[in-house]
Amino acid sequence: MQTLTKFLATAMVTAVLAACGGGDGQDASDQVISISVEGRSASQGFNVSAAEVVAHDATAGRIFTVNAQSGKVDVFAAASAAQFASISAPQQSIDLAAMLVANSVVGSTGLVGAANSVSVYGNVVAVAVEANPKTDNGWVVFLNATTLAFQRAVQVGALPDMLVFTPDGTKVLVANEGEPNVGYTIDPEGSVSVIRLSDYSVSTIGFSDFNVGGSRNSELPSAKMLIAGVGVGGGATVAKDLEPEYIAIRPDGLEAYVTLQEANAIAVLNLVNNTVTKIIGMGFKDHTIPGNEFDASQQDGVNLKTWPVLGAYMPDSIAAYTVAGRTFLVTANEGDSREDWLNGLTDQASCEAAGYYFSSSKCRDELALRDVATTAPAAFIAKLTLSTELDALKTDTTLGRLKFSYHATNAKNTGSTFTRLYAYGARSFSIWDAQTGERVYDSGSDFERHTANRYGSLFNQDHNGSLTGDKRSNSKGPEPEGLAIGEINGRTYAFVGLERMGGVMVYDITNPNAPTFQQYLNNRDVTVAPNAAAVTAGSDLGPEALAFVGGSKSPDGVPRLIVGNEVSGTTTVYKINVQTVR
């Protein structure tokens, strides 16, 4: 029945698209787009989390760029095509910590952490700012978009990581990630804050009902999720384990979709009554299927193959759009482990109770086959040894170096032997039916194929360090993280940034069941080491966040894409070129 339902939905969407065509009356199937670099700022610092998140203000003609670790927001002039092309230096830099002290919100700048996100609607700029320590509650700082003066600071949850205005501009939603401290001695609950701008009141949407023993725990799609439940001394809960990362809002503003990256899930929120409607488990990408090939080793050049591996989608960015009255979600399937926080957990009992393993005085999850015999527990080694297929793939040029999840591999394989490894991320972007949670499209092996075709053995590079091709093949590959979607002449496009390899993938997603590749452009010289000198010479490194500027919001009617490059510390403007093919 599910297969029939999917077929009928696909047929309906395809039929409607064929009947509608493009928004300007032309046959939109004959429209193609491409992007080209128009302007680029000077670096605001190499490898210091500068130029991380970007936002465009069409009314005032500005670009806002968050320099996360410095806690500052750079403001660039963008009131004309000429200013888009010459954004080299910011007009102004806003120090959020100093602003919070000056307005008596905090007593010391030392209590203020990174600025993580920025968004603009009308005459209001909203910036998400974490506390120091990050496990304390953070703030949303509101600025006047015209004068850039402080308006208000509203306290929200721990580690506000991303924020967005509702389509009507009446509310701001904030993803409070609630990451633990190193060692997991403090782990705040993840939540979403809803700020009503009419009076700056805050409603908090939490997940405690999904805790073990809670009224909604049985609703969790556990088979398709990754729930670890780390907690020193048995203090683990589902609500602490869920860490909201990114938010998309349905065009009518009635529903929001929140990625819970490490848990491999999306929370659906009802914005009428501020409740959690449901949690959708993303499931796992089957890399044994042709079309889902990937390169698993740094020592084999270009070697895209199918493997006995399942990839947890673990999306970071998410966007929503509607086709024929149905909402679809677009996700960048980055993947993420908890290794940074686990390594500081010295309580072996708590580590192992959560399903991780303890080795060399550290709690761990990331594991490689070639290291299993010397680091993993005996029971895990036994199950792996019994797997004839996996046991034969321990070499450096097969699966021996691939970083996979010990927790997921141990928990999801049933029986006395392992049949699949569970890896982080899907190395792709996907489209999901928001109502059913069903995946209707995945880009498969496209990202690695396109970069390998372009760069050969220099593909799957990292965004800093030495010049080493194939370096990231064992760990999430090109690592899609940021994305933006936008409509041009009635067609919808997805722009996906590859954090490690660099560059932007462009797809026409007007038909969510059958997207078409348009272009891959990487404003980086991959033949030189990714360092400060490369940035000075013109390379963009680590695209983190993307913002689409539609023609109606552009000073000359030309659509654009703005990209914040976190590692190079540069903000880059791309002109979107539209061509009608007759």
Give the whole-angstrom CA distance, residue 406 versus residue 410.
6
* Element holding 410 (H helix, E strand): helix 406-412
Q: What is the mean pLDDT of each run of 10 residues along the chain (582 residues)?
A: 36 37 42 97 96 97 96 97 96 97 98 98 98 98 98 98 98 98 93 98 98 97 92 85 98 98 98 98 98 97 97 98 98 96 92 94 96 96 94 96 97 94 98 98 98 97 95 97 98 98 98 98 98 97 98 97 98 96 78
479-493 confidence digits (pLDDT tens): 999 999 999 999 999
Phi, psi of 298 (to 5 degrees): -85, 0
CATH number for 91-220+238-281: choose from 3.40.50.2300, 3.40.640.10, 2.130.10.10, 3.40.50.12370.
Answer: 2.130.10.10
Which pTM does this prediction carry? 0.94
Q: Tell me which H or E stretch contains 435.
A: none
Strand partners, 423: 311, 404
The pair of structure tokens assigned to 149 is 């003066």
Q: Where are the domains of the chain?
A: 91-220+238-281
Pairwise CA distance, residues 370 & 238, whole Å: 32
- If one counts every other C-beta atom within 10 angstroms of the C-beta of residue 25, the result is 9
Tell me the pLDDT tens digit for each residue of 5-61.
333 344 334 333 333 333 323 344 589 999 999 999 999 999 999 999 999 999 999
Identify the bridge partners of residue 424 per DSSP, sorted by sequence position: 312
DSSP letter, residue 17: H
Q: Which of 152, 159, 236, 153 is nearest to 191 (CA)?
A: 159
Contacts of 145 (CB under 8 A, 6+ apart): 57, 59, 60, 62, 120, 122, 123, 124, 125
Q: How far is CA 117 from CA 50, 67, 537, in A?
A: 12, 9, 28
399: DSSP letter: T
